[in-house]
A and B are shown apart, each in its own frame.
Chain A
Amino acid sequence: MEQGVTSSTIDPTRPPPLLEAHDVHHTYGIGTREAHNALGGISFCVKQGEFVSIVGPSGCGKTTLLRCLSGLMKPTSGTVSLDGAAISSVPAELTLVFQDYSRSLYPWLRVADNVDFPLKDARLSKSERAERVAQALADVGLTDHTTKYPRQLSGGMQQRVAIARALAYRPAMLLMDEPYASVDAQTRASLEDVLLDVWERRNKTILFVTHDIDESVYLADRVLVLSRGPSRVIADIAVDIARPRDQIETKATPEFVELRAEVARLIRDAGSGAET
């Protein structure tokens, strides 16, 4: 499989951002009457080690954006670069956690084998692989369920398996597409903390797409707010709230309340105004 990296220009004096999107446009069905302009020129960057959330009104093209960022889909125009190199297909240093775990996990592989599956192509020794699988499953709290099949687990646990699989792969950049949209509120809160814990301990770089405003603020260093489609980045908000964060304490701080109101206001205005 190709790496999808066409050129590699690393300037030692000024390291480029890890992920950079430059003026990304995407239109579905160009030239047809049903042409739909989903992305209207998106530009932003994510630095090494950062946790960035993307939030926007529903149907604003978040999934389209992630597919373009991950290289699964080629945008109509604009470039996405990872570590300074423009990507043309899915780069090996990046991975994506899908919203729908039940369709993304392989039901014929046991939990540990699902996590191990991508590692077999990565030319790793058996012991290295076993160690990565064990560590990733321990990180998400699934050590006791390694020999079960995904369908024997609850939805929240299945999404943990999907996260463990992405972690064991050890990508430089982890993209997440509304990963907690289909789990209940309590599971969601605990999965948010699992993710924050892993991000802090393992020094990951995460881009987290969600439609949940609380979640976007609670998790991230920065929140990017998208307009309604054709979407653009209408705000880039820094979240200067101390870490480690706590589901109850953090969400009760005035900074959190203020930021979530600001984001909510932006989304409300974006949702009502952009209908043309």
Chain B
Amino acid sequence: MDDEGASIVSWIRAHLADIAIKIAVLVALVAFWWWATARAQSLFFPTPDTVFESLWNDWLTNWSESWRENFGPSLKRLLLGFGLAAIVSIVMGVAIGRSSTFGDYVEPIIHFVRAIPPPAFLPLFIILLGIGDLQKVVLIAIGVFPPILLNTIDGVRSIDPQQFDTADVFQISTRRRITHVILPAAAPKIFAGLRISMSIAVILMVISELFAATDGLGFRILQTSRQFQYVQLWAGIVVLGIVGTVLNGLLVVVERRVLRWSRV
């Protein structure tokens, strides 16, 4: 465990060469992008300076509008779908993982549902649930829940039986057995499922906003494409990359904090 603050400086010092190489690679990549697009002179492949300019002008300078029209609706759908699916699948996963007979019946079904590409549900959901947020949230939740559920089941199944014997011997109540034994023991696997699901959630959020949407990040990309604003289109793609990276980063921060014990 490292102390924040003072150790950041020493960390940077220790990894200086590593950081320098990473920055150099990034710079080289952008330079190549620049060189290739400048040479190509293509309408569809704008040079990076115009893309960054668009990021600044179209996204950052009118931040409140971007937030209201694009970030806000998208993040709401994503977090609702992801959060609901996570809660439901962790609860179900604990129940299934603790009951071998129930699990044996249910697991093949989950594997089948997992095999269906979630966007295949989209036309059906548009008919059943309309074109509002509900349809998009449900689509995200459907795609997100199998990895979390299967990982939770796996995590709960692989808990050492002696941990339950210990709980028996010390008369631990059922509630605390779930919150303090089962969930922490399965947490490493649950977080693995959450990380897989977060990338799926971002993908499905964009897909759902490419069809029958009036706002959101995916809608904005679609709109710029329809209006032949290819610079803005690329800026939107970069923004989505940033959003995905930030969401994953936040999840990793939470995971590090919760699973601190496993890295000692």
Task: Pick the contact of A1: B163, B172, B185, B187 (CB < 8 A).
Answer: B172
What is the bound-complex CA distance between A107 and B263, given in angstroms? 10
Task: Pick the contact of B160: A94, A103, A108 (CB < 8 A).
Answer: A103
Chain B residues whose CB sits within 8 angstroms of the CB of A96 once the complex forms: 165, 169
Chain B residues whose CB sits within 8 angstroms of the CB of A120 once the complex forms: 176
A117 at the interface (CB under 8 A from B): yes
Binary flags per residue of B149-176, CB closer than 8 Å to A gives 1, else 0: 0000000000010110110111111101
What is the bound-complex CA distance between A95 and B167, given in angstroms? 10
- Asked whether, in the complex, the Cβ of A107 is within 8 Å of the Cβ of B262, the reply is yes
- Asked whether, in the complex, the Cβ of B171 is within 8 Å of the Cβ of A98, the reply is no
Smallest Cβ-Cβ distance to A175: which chain B residue: B169
With A106-B166, A165-B170 given, name 12 new contacts (CB 8 A). Answer: A89-B168, A90-B169, A103-B160, A104-B166, A106-B180, A106-B184, A107-B262, A108-B261, A121-B171, A121-B173, A149-B264, A152-B264
* Residues in A104-122 with C-beta less than 8 Å from chain B: 104, 106-109, 117-118, 120-122
Chain B residues whose CB sits within 8 angstroms of the CB of A235 once the complex forms: none
- Asked whether, in the complex, the Cβ of B169 is within 8 Å of the Cβ of A70, the reply is yes
What is the bound-complex CA distance between A89 and B170, given in angstroms? 12
A-B pairs, 9 with minimum CB distance: A118-B170, A108-B184, A108-B261, A103-B162, A1-B171, A149-B264, A96-B169, A103-B160, A104-B166
Tell me the count of chain B residues lying within 8 A, CB to CB, of chain A: 21
A189 at the interface (CB under 8 A from B): no
- Asked whether, in the complex, the Cβ of A100 is within 8 Å of the Cβ of B162, the reply is yes
Pairs across A and B, CB under 8 Å, 21 listed: A1-B171, A89-B168, A90-B168, A95-B170, A96-B165, A103-B162, A104-B163, A106-B166, A106-B180, A106-B184, A107-B261, A108-B261, A109-B180, A117-B172, A118-B170, A120-B176, A121-B171, A148-B264, A151-B261, A151-B264, A169-B170
Chain A residues whose CB sits within 8 angstroms of the CB of B55 once the complex forms: none
- Asked whether, in the complex, the Cβ of B162 is within 8 Å of the Cβ of A121, the reply is no
Binary flags per residue of A74-93, CB closer than 8 Å to B gives 1, else 0: 00000000000000011010
- Asked whether, in the complex, the Cβ of A72 is within 8 Å of the Cβ of B180, the reply is no
Q: How far is the CB of A189 from chain B (nearest CB, A)?
A: 26
Smallest Cβ-Cβ distance to B258: which chain A residue: A108
A98/B166 contact (C-beta < 8 A), A1-B171, A103-B160 known: yes
Q: How far is the CB of B178 from chain A (nearest CB, A)?
A: 13
Q: How far is the CB of B4 from chain A (nearest CB, A)?
A: 18
- Asked whether, in the complex, the Cβ of B162 is within 8 Å of the Cβ of A104, the reply is yes
Q: How far is the CB of A119 from chain B (nearest CB, A)?
A: 9
Interface positions of A (Cβ within 8 A of B): 1, 70, 72, 89-90, 92, 94-96, 98, 100, 103-104, 106-109, 117-118, 120-122, 148-149, 151-152, 165, 169
Q: How far is the CB of A117 from chain B (nearest CB, A)?
A: 7
B80 at the interface (CB under 8 A from A): no
- Asked whether, in the complex, the Cβ of B171 is within 8 Å of the Cβ of A117, the reply is no
What is the bound-complex CA distance between A113 and B156, given in angstroms? 22
Chain B residues whose CB sits within 8 angstroms of the CB of A122 once the complex forms: 171
What is the bound-complex CA distance between A104 and B174, given in angstroms? 18
Smallest Cβ-Cβ distance to B168: which chain A residue: A90
Smallest Cβ-Cβ distance to B160: which chain A residue: A103
B181 at the interface (CB under 8 A from A): yes
Binary flags per residue of B244-264, CB closer than 8 Å to A gives 1, else 0: 000000000000000001101
Most chain A CB within a 10 A radius of its CB, from B163, B170, B264: B170
What is the bound-complex CA distance between A118 and B261, given in angstroms? 20
What is the bound-complex CA distance between A106 and B187, given in angstroms? 13
- Asked whether, in the complex, the Cβ of B166 is within 8 Å of the Cβ of A121, the reply is no
What is the bound-complex CA distance between A121 and B166, given in angstroms? 14
What is the bound-complex CA distance between A122 and B172, given in angstroms? 9
A118/B172 contact (C-beta < 8 A), A104-B166, A108-B261 known: yes
A118/B162 contact (C-beta < 8 A), A106-B181, A152-B264 known: no
- Asked whether, in the complex, the Cβ of A72 is within 8 Å of the Cβ of B169, the reply is yes
What is the bound-complex CA distance between A90 and B164, given in angstroms? 12
Q: How far is the CB of A111 from chain B (nearest CB, A)?
A: 12
What is the bound-complex CA distance between A121 and B170, given in angstroms? 9
- Asked whether, in the complex, the Cβ of B181 is within 8 Å of the Cβ of A98, the reply is no
Chain B residues whose CB sits within 8 angstroms of the CB of A70 once the complex forms: 169
Chain A residues whose CB sits within 8 angstroms of the CB of B174 once the complex forms: 1
Chain A residues whose CB sits within 8 angstroms of the CB of B162 once the complex forms: 98, 100, 103-104
